[in-house]
Structure formats: C-alpha cells, structure tokens
C-alpha cells in the first residue's frame, strides 16, 4: 500500500508544489492522478520514487517510511518500482534489447538471466522482434513500449508513469493504457499521471484529482461515505 500523510513539498525556489496531501492507494490498484499542468502530479510521483523528498508529512510504501531510506539506499529502493516518463529517455546508440537490459545490468544480474528477462519483457509489450533494432528506427508508440519494457523488466510491484501517452495519438494512447491494465491484472500497482480526460474516462479507474497542489474533491461516486 502507498500512504501519504499530510505531505507537503516546497521547492528550494519557494514554489509550493504540494500542500497537505493525504492519500491511500491499495496494493494492486490502478489509479490516475489528474489535474492541469502545474497541479503537482509530477512532484507527487517524484516523491514516491524518492527523486525528490517531501518538506512536510510522511510517505509509507509497503509499511516502509521513505524518510528512513538514506540517499545511498535509494537505488535499491527504486528496484521495486518501474518508472515511465513521457519522453522515454532511451539511449539511441544502443539496441532496444540493451536499453531494456539497463536496469538489470545496473542491478548486477547475470548475463543469461538478463537475456531471458529482456525477452520476457519485450514479449509482454509485443516487441520481441525488435530486440536488435535501434530505437531511432521505431515509431513513437513502439519507443514508448520499449520504455515500458525497461520499466517492468525488474518485475516491480509498483509502476509509476508520468504522462506516458503525452506524445501519442488517441489510438496508441489506448494501446499503452491496455498494457498498463494488463500489468495491473497480474497484481502490479499502477499510478499514472495524465491530463487526458477522455482516456481516463474510457479506462474507468479511480481518478485522484490534484489542483494547485491539493487533492481536489474526488468524483462524487467515490466520495460517498460507506457507512
Ligand atoms: P504537474 O506534473 O501537475 O504539471 P508539477 O509537479 O510538475 O505539476 O509542478 C507543480 C508546481 O511545482 C508547479 O508550479 C511547478 O512550476 C513547480 N515545480 C516543479 N518542479 C520544480 C522544481 N524542480 N523547482 C521549482 N519548482 C518546481
Ligand atoms: P518468470 O517468473 O520465470 O521470470 P515471466 O518473466 O514470464 O517468468 O513472468 C511470470 C509472470 O509474472 C507472468 O505471468 C507475468 O505477467 C507476471 N508478472 C507479475 N508482475 C510482473 C511485472 N511487474 N512485470 C512483468 N510481469 C509480471
């Protein structure tokens, strides 16, 4: 479970990006962080991946308080999550297979295990035949799928995606979302920042609306108390 308690983030510039955010995301849930540009979506994802640290409150993931994780331990912590950005940060002088292998190489996984897991990840995103290709020869949608394969090659329990369909047309966007849903179906917790309302509506998952760094009123159907 992901738990945020009274989380605030003020950047060194003085910009307050998040204010008193309280949020609970269950294991195995798939949810969307929504809101206009500047609402704080990226910042929230960065706090979960310890790319940034909160200036107030606390964050727990699977019972572990992130403030107890030293900067030195962050790379180990991050192995449990897959992170996907809009611009997929692929290395263009390496093959698709080498790009996907990167997290495993860094983690010191053995050569044979790397080939096996890279192929399994490429298979899941439908790019097994592109293992030896250079990213530049692939379409935008395919490049984004390489980014997803790289994010899941470690079999993370949590997938974080920041505007993963920002550059894609509606059809490709839906295709990428179906991929996330497939990972979610096998138990991966998925949190996606997106301002694509149409896509979020189609996916019919929990939407977590941020506005000006605060959690806004959620969808009426979800804010009705249970008792
Ligand atoms: P979103 O992802 O919803 O567009 P962000 O989390 O990127 O929102 O930004 C939230 C606010 O924090 C914005 O006002 C943005 O300008 C500011 N911000 C984001 N990153 C930084 C940074 N590194 N330094 C200073 N301000 C930042
Ligand atoms: P192995 O378990 O032998 O490494 P696979 O890599 O093919 O074999 O994965 C086994 C199963 O684990 C598949 O059904 C796959 O969908 C599922 N799985 C669970 N979590 C993840 C994840 N984060 N990324 C990819 N697959 C996952």
Our mutation pick for probing the ligand 1 site, out of 17, 33, 52, 87, counting the most ligand atoms within 8 A of Cβ, is: 17
Confidence of residue 218 (pLDDT cuts 50, 70, 90): low
Predicted-complex ipTM score: 0.75
pLDDT-based confidence at 226, cuts 50/70/90? very low
Average pLDDT for residues 146-164, to the nearest whole number? 94
pLDDT (tens digit, 9 = 90+) per residue, 30-45? 999 999 999 999 999 9
Residue 4 confidence (pLDDT) above 90: yes
Ligand 1 atom showing the smallest separation from residue 42 Cα: 2
pLDDT at 168: 83
Half-sphere exposure of 3 (CA within 13 A, CB side): 10
Q: Find out whether 134 and 96 touch, Cβ atoms under 8 Å.
A: yes
What is the Å distance from ligand 1's center to 134 Cα?
33
Q: End-to-end distance of the chain based on CA atoms, in angstroms? A: 23
Q: Considering the entire predicted model, what is its pTM?
A: 0.85
Ligand nearest to the CA of 11: 1
**How confident is the prediction for the chain on average, in pLDDT?**
92
Ligand closest to CA 187: 2
> 162-208, pLDDT tens digit by residue?
999 887 889 889 989 999 999 999 999 999 999 898 999 999 999 99
For ligand 2, atom 12, name the residue with the nearest CA: 186
Ligand 1: which residue has its CA nearest to atom 7?
A: 42
CA of 104 to the centre of ligand 1 (A): 30
Pocket residues: Cβ below 6 A from ligand 1: 11, 13, 15, 17, 35, 37-43, 193
């Amino acid at each position: 479970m992901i738990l945020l308690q009274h989380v605030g983030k003020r950047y060194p510039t003085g910009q307050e990006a998040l204010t008193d955010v309280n949020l609970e995301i269950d294991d195995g849930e798939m949810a969307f962080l929504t809101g206009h540009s500047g609402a704080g979506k990226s910042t929230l994802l960065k706090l979960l991946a310890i790319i940034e640290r909160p200036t107030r409150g606390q964050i727990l993931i699977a019972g572990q308080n992130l403030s107890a994780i030293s900067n030195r331990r962050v790379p180990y912590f991050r192995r449990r999550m897959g992170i996907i950005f809009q611009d997929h940060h692929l290395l263009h002088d390496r093959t698709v297979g080498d790009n996907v292998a990167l997290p495993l190489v860094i983690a010191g996984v053995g050569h044979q295990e790397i080939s096996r897991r890279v192929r399994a990840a490429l298979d899941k995103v439908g790019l097994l035949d592109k293992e030896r290709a250079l990213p530049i020869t692939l379409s935008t949608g395919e490049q984004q799928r390489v980014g997803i394969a790289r994010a899941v090659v470690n079999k993370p329990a949590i997938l974080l995606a920041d505007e993963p369909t920002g550059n894609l047309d509606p059809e490709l966007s839906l295709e990428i979302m179906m991929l996330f849903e497939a990972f979610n179906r096998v138990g991966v917790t998925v949190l996606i920042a997106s301002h694509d309302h149409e896509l979020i509506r189609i996916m019919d998952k929990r939407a977590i609306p941020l506005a000006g760094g605060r959690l806004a009123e959620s969808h009426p159907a979800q804010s009705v108390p249970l008792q």
